[in-house]
């Protein structure tokens, strides 16, 4: 067996999804603490940056040359090589956030125990559902007064449409949070001495059968409540089923407090056991086995102008099979030529460093002289297959673009097309009285600022954006079968086309989507545009 096989088997590549403030950064940091990557918690960079206001985000991006949006953390733990992909939540939520999920093999969903399922979790979860990747739930902040545990489980099942299977169960919450009961080991894990979460702390394990020791440790009331809840749970909860987890139908659920480290290591251990090494991925030539020996990867994100002086672009790619050696020749399928990838690098939080080798499951960033597009495939010379395209995600904010200086039409078109090609914005066109209007759609509003800033600085073009009230977008899936011209619409509906000329509809109200479907028999609408 070649050495790359064992390297690939060690890989676990996942993204953490959460609503802002649920504790994603804190949990990530604790993973680093337990892996020995950092000695004391409280030092992960990026968090402060993520909280900066929109206005200075650009400055930060410029000064540091790279934004936190590009970070991929890699660390070793328990014999596994773990890649955590960052899915920015806060201000810089954008299509990249979604696309990152295309490069992940599984997702960890962090939920604030006192808030339950929140808006952003819902959105990100949808993308996980679309891909059918395993989703693990970590209910965080149990050191604060939490919602009822059964209610939390119910809410996830109802709101997200995924069954949950609690792997452990919390004992109390807030000031009376004692630890968690591990259903598999049939033991209670009590935590102490984590020095406010900066150190691993002391863990005490007591078997559920050792009644007196348990009562002495957590008190009679907590013991009674625990045994009662466990009885209920055994009768009502879903059984753990690895195959359902693999298909993304069942989410193993864990409880803890990232801040105080309670339950973090337990979670990490189970999670790494229950997730899989990189799996085969679909291409137009069938499934590509990660262990097949030949290198292959696809581009899931392109980040422009990280270095102002060089105006470079970095293409981030997920390696799907084989091993990557810097300097090796690869075939760029969409460009139809062999090439060498320049300056391959890996991102560790905010720092870039050159890599000497990388394997299926890893993410690398390479210098892009403007040849890559999102979704492109790279493979070994002599092979020709393309990985499934990355869908275009539905923008949620729209604006009409007005060009201030009509003399600069050429630069404007070039700029806006290039920025759209990188996938930062989506461009649509509408035809009104012979005048072609440009509408931009974005997933996160910050992208509007990015657009203004980049057109001004890189293309010397001033534009004004007039926000439009549309919030819902649907591609017409079966445009060939329906009479798009004569669709029976609603008063808040607008017909436009995307860059590829595909017709789509914009709506102000979500209920109008249903009305239009009702009024036009046979019409098929989709929230994603398959490329």
CA pair distance 42, 45, nearest whole angstrom? 9
> Counting contacts by CB under 6 A, is residue 394 touching ligand G4P?
no
Of 11, 24, 323, 474, which one interacts with ligand G4P (CB under 6 A)? 24
SS3 526: strand
> Counting contacts by CB under 6 A, is residue 512 touching ligand G4P?
no
Query: What's the min distance (Å) between Cβ of 119 and ligand G4P?
Result: 13
Pick out residues in 323-382 that bind ligand G4P (CB under 6 A): none
Query: What's the min distance (Å) between Cβ of 41 and ligand G4P?
Result: 10
What are the strands of the beta sheet with 525-526, ordered from one edge? 463-468, 397-403, 435-442, 426-432, 493-498, 503-507, 472-476, 525-526
CA pair distance 108, 495, nearest whole angstrom? 37
CA pair distance 337, 260, nearest whole angstrom? 52
Residue closer to ligand G4P (CB basis): 141 or 474: 141
Pick out residues in 458-477 that bind ligand G4P (CB under 6 A): none
Residue closer to ligand G4P (CB basis): 111 or 378: 111
CA pair distance 350, 72, nearest whole angstrom? 9
117, two tokens:
């399922």
Q: What is the 3-state secondary structure (H, E, C) of 357-403?
A: CEECCCEEEEEECCCCCCCCEEECCCCCCCECCCCECCCCEEEEEEE
Pick out residues in 80-139 that bind ligand G4P (CB under 6 A): 89
Of 120, 137, 140, 149, which one interacts with ligand G4P (CB under 6 A)? 140
| Residue with tokens 């989703």, as numbered in its chain | 135
Query: What's the min distance (Å) between Cβ of 23 and ligand G4P?
Result: 3
Query: What's the min distance (Å) between Cβ of 63 and ligand G4P?
Result: 22
Of 257, 283, 321, 447, which one interacts with ligand G4P (CB under 6 A)? 257
Residue closer to ligand G4P (CB basis): 15 or 214: 15
Residue closer to ligand G4P (CB basis): 72 or 333: 72
* Terminal CA-CA length for the chain: 37
356, two tokens:
């000497």
> Counting contacts by CB under 6 A, is residue 259 touching ligand G4P?
yes
CA pair distance 65, 60, nearest whole angstrom? 8
Query: DSSP states of 340-370 as a string?
Result: E-EEEEEEETTEEEE-S-EETT-EEEEEESS
Name the residue among 329, 345, 330, 417 with its Cα closest to residue 376: 330
Of 68, 258, 446, 505, which one interacts with ligand G4P (CB under 6 A)? 258
Of 7, 11, 25, 218, which one interacts with ligand G4P (CB under 6 A)? 25
Residue closer to ligand G4P (CB basis): 264 or 399: 264
Query: What's the min distance (Å) between Cβ of 32 and ligand G4P?
Result: 13
Stretch of 24-32, 80-88, 150-158, 426-434 contacting ligand G4P, by CB under 6 A: 24-32
Of 5, 10, 20, 411, which one interacts with ligand G4P (CB under 6 A)? 20
Of 9, 13, 14, 26, which one interacts with ligand G4P (CB under 6 A)? 26
The answer to whether residues 277 and 11 touch, using CB atoms and an 8 Å cutoff, is: yes
x/- binding map, residues 142-171, to ligand G4P, per CB under 6 A?
A: -xx---------------------------
How many residues bind ligand G4P, per CB under 6 A? Answer: 17
Query: What's the min distance (Å) between Cβ of 24 and ligand G4P?
Result: 3
- Count of CB atoms situated within 10 Å of the CB of 119: 9
Name the residue among 270, 279, 253, 237 with its Cα closest to residue 132: 279
CA pair distance 108, 106, nearest whole angstrom? 7
Query: What's the min distance (Å) between Cβ of 43 and ligand G4P?
Result: 12
CA pair distance 86, 69, nearest whole angstrom? 7
277, two tokens:
């090494």
Site residues, ligand G4P (CB under 6 A): 18, 20-26, 47, 89, 140-141, 143-144, 257-259
């Amino acid at each position: 067996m070649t050495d790359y096989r064992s390297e690939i088997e060690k890989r676990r590549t996942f993204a953490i999804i959460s609503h802002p403030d649920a504790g994603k950064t804190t949990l990530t940091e604790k993973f680093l603490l337990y892996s020995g990557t950092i000695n004391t918690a409280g030092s992960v960079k990026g968090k402060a940056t993520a909280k900066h206001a929109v206005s200075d985000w650009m400055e930060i991006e410029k000064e540091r040359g790279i934004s936190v949006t590009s970070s991929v953390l890699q660390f070793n733990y328990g014999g596994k090589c773990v890649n955590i992909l960052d899915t920015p939540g806060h201000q810089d939520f954008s299509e990249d956030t979604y696309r990152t999920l295309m490069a992940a093999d599984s997702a960890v969903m962090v939920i604030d125990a006192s808030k339950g399922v929140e808006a952003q979790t819902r959105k990100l979860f949808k993308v996980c559902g679309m891909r059918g990747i395993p989703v693990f739930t970590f209910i965080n902040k149990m050191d604060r007064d939490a919602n009822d545990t059964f209610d939390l489980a119910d809410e996830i099942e109802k709101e997200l449409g995924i069954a949950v299977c609690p792997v452990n169960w919390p004992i109390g919450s807030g000031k009376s949070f004692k630890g968690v009961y591990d259903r598999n080991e049939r033991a209670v894990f009590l935590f102490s001495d984590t020095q406010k979460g900066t150190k691993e702390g002391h863990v005490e394990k007591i078997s559920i059968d050792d009644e007196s020791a348990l009562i002495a440790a957590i008190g009679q009331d907590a013991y009674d409540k625990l045994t009662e809840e466990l009885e209920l749970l055994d009768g009502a909860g879903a059984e753990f089923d690895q195959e359902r987890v693999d298909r993304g139908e069942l989410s193993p659920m864990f409880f803890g407090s990232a801040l105080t480290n309670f339950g973090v290591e337990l979670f990490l251990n189970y999670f790494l056991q229950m997730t899989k090494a990189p799996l085969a991925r679909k291409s137009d030539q069938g499934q590509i086995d990660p262990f097949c020996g030949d290198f292959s990867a696809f581009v899931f994100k392109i980040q422009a102008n990280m270095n102002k002086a060089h105006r470079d672009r970095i293409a981030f790619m997920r390696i799907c099979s084989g091993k990557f050696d810097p300097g090796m020749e690869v075939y760029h399928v969409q460009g139809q030529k062999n090439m060498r990838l320049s300056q391959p690098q890996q991102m560790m939080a905010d720092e870039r460093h050159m890599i000497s080798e990388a394997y299926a499951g890893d993410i690398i960033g390479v210098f892009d002289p403007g040849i890559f597009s999102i979704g492109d495939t790279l493979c070994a010379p002599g092979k020709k297959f393309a990985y499934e395209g990355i869908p275009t995600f539905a923008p949620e904010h729209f604006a009409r673009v007005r060009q201030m200086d009509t003399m600069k039409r050429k630069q404007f078109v070039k700029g806006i097309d290039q920025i759209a090609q990188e996938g930062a914005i989506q461009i649509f066109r509408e035809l009104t009285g012979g005048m072609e209007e440009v509408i931009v759609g974005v997933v996160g509003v910050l992208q509007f600022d990015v657009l203004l800033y980049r057109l001004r600085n890189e293309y010397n073009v001033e534009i004004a954006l007039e926000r439009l009230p549309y919030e819902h977008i649907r591609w017409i899936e079966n445009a060939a079968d329906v009479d798009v011209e004569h669709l029976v619409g609603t008063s808040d509906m607008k017909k436009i086309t995307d860059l590829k000329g595909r017709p789509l509809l914009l709506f102000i109200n979500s209920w109008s989507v249903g009305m239009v479907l009702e009024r036009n028999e046979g019409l098929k609408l989709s929230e994603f545009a398959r490329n």
